[in-house]
Amino acid sequence: MPPAFLHPFASPASDDYTTIVRGEGAVVFDADGNRYVDALASLWYCGVGHGRQEMIAAITAQLEALEAFHTFERYTNEPAETLTNELASLAPLPGARVFLADSGSEAVDSAIKLARLAHFLGGDEDRTLIVSRQHAYHGVTLGGTSAQGLPANREGFGELLPRVEVEHDDLDHVERVMAERGGEVSIVLAEPVIGAGGVRPPEPGYLEGLRALCDEHGALLCFDEVICAFGRLGRWWGAERYGVVPDLVTFAKGVTSGYIPLGGVLVGRKVRERLEADPGYVLRHGHTYSGHPVACAAGVAAIDILRSDGLLERAVTVGERLVAGLTSLVDGERILSVRGEGALRAVELAAHVPVAAVRDAMRERGVISRAIPPSTIAFCPPLVIGDDDLDLCVEVLGDAIEAVSP
């Protein structure tokens, strides 16, 4: 009998679940007391590690002071102001303001709406076309589902958002779209490193090429940094890692290390100037929990830990050690290659190696990884992970492949 909880991205008919009850640093424990290395930071987000007392204290203190109050119209709260000031100071684009949402999916839909709105307010209401990438994952709300380049995640939901062009990780294709329809393009969405679509770094010059094309044709460039930001690539933002300045940046996950749901959009000058041009204009977009004080307090605390613990620098070390270990397993027959950036890495398996079975065998041996069909095993550990547990991830991957390979 399936449980009452209808699980996301799972078989609705399943009744086989692992109950996680506790976390410490880079490991979690299930209800039977089994220990697992959390090799994916839960779902790409727990950078500062599980069970951090600083996080718990900040959240508790804010709950005791003010648990919630909306930020519509003229209301605000101190944690929201503190967090957005901090984010604006860290932003990889000059003169940014920060729009707050509750998740990465909401952030992406907000960026799409803000881009279209900016063009509308600038007198260019025909600019509504969205351009995105093959393999891209942009969340599960209507805009993000429409824009993502993962067909399986779009199937069965009927007609989605119109005026979307998914390109094929080929700058020439974007050039053709811009040449033919450049006057219609509102926003170009791109993850600096594609995460859930297979951990795919950009080809050299790709992100720079998108910037140049957007400038040439008047479109806005948005980096979806829901996975890449907050130290994952060794910098605060993927935009910094690749030296490209976007017009909008979406974020979530690592901003609070997942302790409380929070997402948002860094809004650059091209967009904010149009929003601010008319003092009587009202932005009719936002969420009940935009700027939620407890979530924002968690964000402030998480950023403090990332900075005080030197976790951006640690991400580089984690990535180097992980790459060295994973590369040692490459044999050209079962493990074909290693790819990624910073502390976001993956191995590519041969077609005959069952990727889900490898993931399951790893879990049985105490490491939780991510299987991305058809052939990728992804690693995105908490940035606090120790060397012994990093080495265990590599050892367990090798053992799992031995156990399940035909």
What is the pLDDT, as a whole number, of residue 209?
97
What is the pLDDT, as a whole number, of residue 282?
97
* Tokens read off for 136: 């891209």
Cβ atoms < 10 Å from Cβ of 1: 4
Cβ atoms < 10 Å from Cβ of 278: 9
Q: Which helix (H) or strand (E) holds 386?
A: none
DSSP secondary-structure letter at 145?
A: H
Q: What is the mean pLDDT of each run of 10 residues along the chain (406 residues)?
A: 93 95 98 98 98 98 98 97 98 97 98 98 95 95 93 91 82 93 96 97 96 97 98 98 98 98 98 96 97 98 98 98 98 97 98 97 98 97 98 98 91
What is the pLDDT, as a whole number, of residue 405?
86
Answer for the pair 298, 142: CB distance below 8 angstroms, yes or no: no
Answer for the pair 217, 182: CB distance below 8 angstroms, yes or no: yes
For residues 401 and 27, give the distance between their C-alpha atoms in angstroms, rounded to a whole number: 22
Answer for the pair 352, 406: CB distance below 8 angstroms, yes or no: yes
In the three-class reduction of DSSP (H, G, I as helix; E, B as strand; rest coil), residue 400 is classed as helix
What is the pLDDT, as a whole number, of residue 161?
87
Q: Going by C-beta distance under 8 Å and a sequence separation of 6 or more, which residues neighbour residue 382?
A: 25, 26, 38, 41, 46, 47, 48, 49, 50
Q: Looking at the DSSP assignment, which residues form a beta bridge with residue 372?
A: 376
- pTM given for the model: 0.96
What is the pLDDT, as a whole number, of residue 304?
98
Q: Which amino acid is at 22?
A: R
Where on the phi/psi map is residue 356: left (φ > 0), alpha (ψ -120 to 50), or beta? alpha
